[in-house]
Structure 1
Amino acid sequence: MISSTQVRMALNEVHAISATSESEVYELSINLTDISGQTYDCDYLSRPDDTFGLNPTIRKWLADNPKFPVQAYRPPTVEQIRSFMPSISARQLRLGLVNAGISPTQVMAAIDAMPVGPERDRVQIEWEYATSFNRLHALIAVIGWALGLTEMQIDAVWTAALDL
């Protein structure tokens, strides 16, 4: 039985709207009250065919406020895309390099060719002992540069390694 005092979701305010890469799909910065009565700011992705939760209210608000400014879609930068790439295990990284024709021996030779000092020691420790790596980790850039790989080549190795 639904109580007559039950709190319903409410759209309190729309702060900003941004277009996405999909037609009629918007990312909104809003203030809402949720079903437990909590009020807060959040981001909300609204699709035209979504009939769940607060979306019908948001779609009505969009229709009733056609002059509200919508920020144009800006594709993510290459750096943003890289920051969203999932981490991979040391195993995946090493197998990805091997599949790209780069042996662990070549990586060790690149590390050994670095000037003796703390930076080389850090790189060697990371290579030998890290259990996972993220795409923007400094080791990836250092090893990639030492092996003559471009950022796009590293991206390709990374993407292929995700499935290993």
Structure 2
Amino acid sequence: MINKVFSVRADVDNVLVFDMDYTGPEGRIRSVYAYRASDIYSPLTPIITQWIADNNPEILPYIPPPEPTAEELRAQMPDKTPREFRDILTDMGIFPHMVAAKINEIPFDIERQKALNAWEVSTYISRTDPYVDMIGAMFDKSPAEIDAAWKVR
């Protein structure tokens, strides 16, 4: 049973997106639901079809989602093994001994040790790990340059 419809928005491929409060087998909930009249498997299809016929709702236009930010794209990048990460750096002209030397120049013991741990002991490297950009910055590489190299491998 549909208790209240807050909005109906057109989506791609003859789909309507309902923001609605309804009561179903799991109880009363508010949910965003993708409706397609041809969906014969959803128990909500006939209920929503009837609601549309009875209420003739205003259907808001489709608004595409915003482009993901650089940070969101980085979060989606696959993790790399230490070898893959070192190969990325090598392809950028940054060799492992150079990274170790730069890390050893960090003046603060705790920061230096944490950077060494990240460099020497990690079992995988995430693109969002702050040490990745820190290493890049040590060699005047921008996050965008690192992103491009990360995608190639």
TM-score (norm 1): 0.65
Show structure 1 runs of 4+ deviating over 2 A. 10-20, 22-34, 37-46, 48-73
Identical residues among aligned pairs (%): 26
Question: Which consecutive residues of structure 1, in runs of 5 or more, have no partner in the other structure?
Answer: 1-9
Alignment of 1:146 with 2:146, yes or no, is no
1:106 to 92, 98, 113: 98
Instruction: Find the structure with the greater CA-based Rg.
Output: 2
Take 1:152 and 1:55, find their aligned partners in 2: how far apart are those partners? 47
Native 8 Å contact 1:18 1:26 kept in 2: yes
Deviation at 1:68, TM superposition (A): 4.3
**Quick one: distance in 2 between partners of 1:98 and 1:139?**
16
Q: Would the alpha carbon gap of residues 72 and 131 (structure 1) be closer, same or farther in structure 2, given more than 3 Å must change?
A: same
Deviates more, 1:130-139 or 1:99-108: 99-108
1:158 to 130, 142, 150: 150
- 8 Å CA contact 2:3, 2:21 repeated in 1: yes
Displacement of 1:23 = 7.2
The reply to whether residue 137 of structure 1 matches residue 133 of structure 2 is no
> Cα 1:116–1:160, aligned 2, differ >3 Å: closer, same or farther?
same
CA contact (8 A) 1:17 1:27 kept: yes
Q: Which residue of 1 aligns with 2:26?
A: 38
Q: Does the aligned pair in 1 maintain the 2:10–2:60 contact within 8 Å?
A: no
Change (3 A) 1:86 1:53: farther
Q: Distance in 2 between matches of 1:16 and 1:82?
A: 33
Distance 1:49 1:98 in 2: 54
CA offsets, 1:9-46, max 9 Å, x none? x87766667788x6767776666778xx3355566567
Whether contact under 8 Å (1:13, 1:31) holds in the other structure is: yes
CA contact (8 A) 2:4 2:20 kept: yes
Note closer, same or farther for the CA distance 1:18–1:108 as it changes in structure 2 (3 Å cut): farther
Q: How does 1:50-129 map to 2 (within 5 A)?
A: 51=39, 53-54=41-42, 57=45, 65-68=57-60, 71=63, 73-129=65-121
Distance in 2, matches of 1:139 and 1:50, equals 50
Asked whether the equivalents of residues 9 and 59 of structure 2 are also in contact (C-alpha less than 8 Å), the reply is: no
Q: 1:4 matched to which residue of 2?
A: none
